[in-house]
Structure 1
Amino acid sequence: MGSMAEDILSTIKDDELRNASLEAKKSGCILPILKVELKSKIQMKRLLQGQDEIDLNVSSPQKKACVELTKEDLERKNKRQEQNRKAAKKFRLKEKEEKANLDQTLKELRKRNEELRSNVRQMEEDKAKIIQLIIDKSNST
């Protein structure tokens, strides 16, 4: 069964697709093949629209050489890092306080809402009693 797959791979003419197929076989993941297919579809779409092919063989920018920092640069860097840590800590504390305040406000508003609902129920009961008294009074006269 393995030789059949190898036979199929050997018939692939496109080097890029063959390499992707080999990589997919090694890794057990279809992602390399999907990348080649997607790239091909994008290139085909660009060509059909009259655009040039995208040159994907652009070399990546060279990494900057590691530069030794001077004592002053290190001090500035450490100072910035410390300031950043303090600012982040201050921000987290402020955020925590704001959340606590909002939670307290929510608790108070819920309590006030329940009190108001209770008052409405009581007033509706009182209203019903008054209406009943009026009806009883009008029936007795």
Structure 2
Amino acid sequence: MAETLHGTNMDSENSKTMSPAVMEEVETEKLNRVFLSSMKEGDPLPLIKEELKYLIQSRRLAVGKEELSVKFHPPLTPQLEPEDRIKMKKRREQNRNAAQRFRTKKKSKKEKVEKELEFLNSRNNELRAKVEDLERQVHMYRQYIDCVSQDAIHLENFPPK
């Protein structure tokens, strides 16, 4: 029986003529189909929606209310007037131009920052080299001062007293 009802929508007329056992079987079949598709897609949302729909329907039927029949239709896209189409095309063109200007400005700003970074890195390397050279000179002068001061000590002691 479930195979013959497979894929059909249960409306309120159909559900009134079916026995509760058949309705339960049909709902179980729907849940099984939705469960398998949810597992394939990896998205639990359709299964949750179907379970909620089943829960609401069973509660409505349990308290004696009639079954809900909800059918969704895709929203109709309104036909635009020619002047509205022109406005829309103009807006799209303006947006496209603004986006292009933004991308160009962003690219030039990025290039400017990259050039500044390159300059600062080279300047940093120059200054580091200069610091090394000055440290070498300081070390050399300290050695010279040490030699001169030791020679001065020797010269003071040279004429024995």
Larger RCO, structures 1/2 (Cα 8 Å, 6+ apart): 2
Matches within 5 A, 1:29-48: 29=40, 31-32=43-44, 35-36=47-48
Deviation at 1:62, TM superposition (A): 6.5
Which structure's CA Rg is the greater one?
A: 2
Unaligned runs of 5+ in 2: 1-23, 53-68, 153-161
Deviation at 1:100, TM superposition (A): 0.5
For 1:139, the equivalent position in structure 2 comes to 150
Letter in 2 for 1:129: M
For 1:80, the equivalent position in structure 2 comes to 91
Letter in 2 for 1:116: L
1:58/1:101 Cα in 2 relative to 1: closer, same or farther (>3 Å)?
Answer: farther
Aligned residues: 112
Deviation at 1:78, TM superposition (A): 1.0
2:125 alignment partner, one of 102, 114, 134 = 114
Letter in 1 for 2:122: K
Computed over aligned residues only, the root mean square deviation of the Cα atoms, in angstroms, reads: 3.5
Matches within 5 A, 1:1-141: 19-25=30-36, 29=40, 31-32=43-44, 35-36=47-48, 63=75, 65-141=76-152
1:61/1:18 Cα in 2 relative to 1: closer, same or farther (>3 Å)?
Answer: closer
Letter in 1 for 2:118: K
TM-score of the pair, normalised by structure 1: 0.62
2:79 partner SS: coil
1:35/1:25 Cα in 2 relative to 1: closer, same or farther (>3 Å)?
Answer: closer
CA distance in 2, matches of 1:121, 1:62: 75
